[in-house]
A and B are shown apart, each in its own frame.
Chain A
């Protein structure tokens, strides 16, 4: 079965600094990959997705992610974080079993300091 690992439980960065959140997946073939963000008390919002093609994908709110097959990774990046980026970030994977199910990582909580 597929799995998703987010090694960092909590990350703190200064406002204006760059950000990289790590995500590793375990699956033999190329999966469908997603990053979601959950602000306090909110549901999940889709930031970006990778299905195929260009391995660098752009999302909303200035986020991007790069799919690296050799490393089984799909890390999320942002060149300059804003205080409003403080939230919980979840990486998710879907595999081609036709059931449309997503498997979520354990999440990374991002704290922004002034």
Chain B
């Protein structure tokens, strides 16, 4: 499997501000995913980020609120814009490892965001 890191690991932010979360992988991957895990809840997919193309957002998530960059095959960022307390969640990135089975994803440690 790959080693996936996220920065920051946690942050406390004021409402109305924005936070950019970084996801770094130690090998080249085509597909990266961003998830949100609200307190006590399961994971919800925000978007799929493939290198060289625009991110594909799931229903209920929009680019203006969650802009994503994917500049190369080992890195992606997710920005949470104009934050409100409802954005307090754990944000996780995951990757699909080439050569592994279909749909098999590996996750980063997550970024715990608290909005006050």
A and B pair up: yes
Q: A99-B48, A106-B42 are in contact. Are A42 and B104 (CB under 8 A)?
A: no
A-B contact count (CB 8 A): 55
A74 interfacial contact with B, CB 8 Å: no
CA–CA, A43 and B48, complex, Å: 18
CA–CA, A86 and B56, complex, Å: 35
Q: State how many angstroms separate the Cβ of A56 from the closest Cβ of chain B.
A: 17
Q: A43-B92, A90-B42 are in contact. Are A101 and B48 (CB under 8 A)?
A: yes
Label chain B's interface by main secondary structure: strand
CA–CA, A90 and B48, complex, Å: 20
CA–CA, A41 and B111, complex, Å: 10
Q: State how many angstroms separate the Cβ of A100 from the closest Cβ of chain B.
A: 6
0/1 interface trace, chain A 4-35, chain B, CB 8 Å (1 if under):
00000000000000000000000000001010
- A34, B104: Cβ atoms closer than 8 Å: yes
CA–CA, A43 and B10, complex, Å: 13
0/1 interface trace, chain B 1-26, chain A, CB 8 Å (1 if under):
10010000000000000000000000
Residue in chain B with minimal CB distance to A106: B42
- B42, A107: Cβ atoms closer than 8 Å: yes
User: Which of A's residues lie within 8 Å of B, judged by CB?
Assistant: 32, 34, 36, 41-46, 49, 51, 90, 94, 99-102, 104-107
